[in-house]
Amino acid sequence: MGWFSKARSGKSTTPNPVGSGSKATPPLLKVQTDGAAELVAGVQLSRSAETELYAKAQRVPIPEDRNLSNLVTAEPGVYLFVDVGVRVLSSPAVGRGHEFRIGANTLLSPNILCNLQGFQIFADAQGAVLQLSVSDFGQLSDELRDYLNQRMLEGDAAMMLAVMAEYRLLERQAYRLSDRLFAVAQTKRTKFVESKVVVDTLSRIPKLPVSTGELLSRLSDVDSSSAEISELVSQDPSLTSLLLKSINSPQYALAEPVSDVNRVVVLLGYQGVYQLIMAAGFKQTLPDSGRFRASYDKAIELSQIAYSLSAVSGRGTPAVISTIGLLHDVGLLVTELLKKRHPDFAALIADVDRSEFGGELMRVWGLPDLVCETIRAQRYPDVAPPERLQPSFKDSVALLYIADLLHTYMVAQKSPIAPLYLREYLQQLGWRDKSLDAIWKAKVAPHM
């Protein structure tokens, strides 16, 4: 619909005068390359309705710079009809942004215009904009209002199709970039991680209690009993000392001291015993500094979230997934120690994903492959969907990834850019249609 009085070849085009109410084909503007306008046939509308529109609406020429952004933001609650094509550009803080197009002769509703605020909007050519306020729109005749409503539906549909086309393009570009980043991540499992410099550094890091690996293997075995766990802990003096020291600390505030490992297992359950040993043992390996204390605090919180996710999803063994959450950032210890011992290689060390160092340290400590590979691959969900991962640790990586996102959003109260493959990893855990907020409230928070 391009009902604008614009001169062409020295002649003016004006709406037909009010007549007997007979139907007339209203003129539509078709903009030529030279800026002139050509009238083309439009939708049937009575002359009286056409005249009514001209009486109610305001014609605004498109500025010389063709920038229509002010028309969108400065006049809230108006309908806009533009007789030329329009380009809508996003305005990110960094980078060029993205663009989609709206065809000529499109009627834009206040709802659409409200969502265009913050975008830059440019006309393809000189022309005009027809403005109609919401209050005036409500006073139109039924015929004209019905007609404009139909045009609005067409305009909204055109806008949606334009956005969907741009979305499909961005999606293809994102997946192409994702494939390249994943390939880089795979190739960066560098020889440096296995070099003598790193291996020597790993050997100097204090290990977890000697029976931790065996204890984790027992907990992964569904046939293990509490008696077997108690016996294994009792055979290792370091585990026994660590466990009794922890259970008798002010944190548990027991009425009487506990001196029997079997009693501890009864009180905490063998998975609780394991988590206590792991947390206390892991803390002993870390330097006593602010950065590592913050890392440890996050690890404890992430461990609890991961445990709950494993339990409610039925994926993985909760104690094992909890251990992975606890040890997920152990690569920080390796990175900082390497930088301290080899300052000349600081740039090279910083270029290596510390998850690689963490996974290698887990291998040196003798922990199961599931723990090592999950920690090593924990950043892959940023650049790859679950189907790109090895089946043996796909669930554990998904659990750690979702646990980390929940910690970021719900505990740390941060709002990073929405992850590219969030939906796919939620689907991996059986929660495709769930939001992080819903999962936190229904499945995690009640168990924390």
| Residue 386: DSSP 8-state | G
Listed in sequence order, the residues at least 6 apart from 346 whose beta carbon sits closer than 8 Å to its beta carbon are: 339
Question: Quick check: 229 pLDDT over 80?
Answer: no
Confidence of residue 33 (pLDDT cuts 50, 70, 90): very low
Check: CB of residue 389 under 8 Å from CB of residue 377.
yes
pLDDT band at 212 (very low <50, low <70, confident <90, very high): low
Dist CA 52 CA 31 (whole Å): 24
Q: Rounded to an integer, what distance in angstroms lies between the CA atom of residue 441 and that of residue 431?
A: 14
- State the first-to-last Cα distance of the chain, in angstroms, to the nearest integer: 60
Q: How confident is the model at residue 95 (pLDDT cuts 50, 70, 90)?
A: low
SS3 of 195, please? coil
* Residue 207: per-residue pLDDT: 77
Residue 325 confidence (pLDDT): 94
27-56 CB burial, b ≥16 within 10 A, e <16: bbbebeeeeebeeeebeebbbbbbbbbeeb
Which of 152-156, 286-290, 417-421, 438-442 holds the top average pLDDT?
A: 438-442
The dihedrals phi and psi of 23, each to the nearest 5 degrees, come to -70, 140
Express each pLDDT in 374-422 by its tens digit: 999 999 998 889 998 999 999 999 999 999 999 999 999 988 778 889 9
Q: Place 9 in a pLDDT band, splitting at 50, 70 and 90.
A: very low
**CA nearest neighbour of 57 among 81, 22, 74:** 81
Alpha carbon distances (Å) from 353 to 76, 186, 329, 335, 346: 49, 11, 11, 9, 13
Alpha-carbon distance of 436 to 402, in angstroms, equals 8
> Predicted confidence band at 190 (pLDDT cuts at 50, 70, 90)?
low
Indicate the angle between helix axes 331-341 and 196-203, nearest 10 degrees: 110
In Å, how far are 28, 39, 45, 80 from 31, measured between CA atoms?
A: 10, 9, 22, 18
- Asked if 166 contacts 99 with a C-beta cutoff of 8 angstroms, the reply is yes
> How much of the chain exceeds pLDDT 70, in percent?
84
Task: Determine whether 319 is exposed, middle or buried from the number of CB atoms within 10 Å of its CB (0-12, 13-18, 19+).
Answer: buried
**pLDDT the model gives residue 75:** 60
Helix (H, G, I), strand (E, B) or coil at 73: helix
* Rounded-to-integer distance, Cα 326 and Cα 330, Å: 9
- Residue 28 clears pLDDT 60, i.e. is over it: no
| Main-chain dihedrals φ then ψ at residue 371, nearest 5 degrees | -65, -50
Residue among 153, 151, 135, 152 at smallest CA distance from 56: 135
Q: Which two tokens stand for residue 35?
A: 């800026």
Q: What is the pLDDT of residue 39?
A: 32
Paired strand residues for 61: 128
**How many Å apart are CA 134 and CA 138, to the nearest integer?**
6
Which domains, ranges and CATH numbers included, belong to the chain?
A: 23-169 (2.60.120.10), 191-447 (1.10.3210.10)
Is the separation of the CB atoms in 335 and 359 below 8 Å? no
Confirm if 40 and 28 have CB atoms less than 8 A apart. yes
Phi, psi torsion values for 108, nearest 5 degrees: -105, 130
Q: Above 60 in pLDDT, residue 176?
A: yes
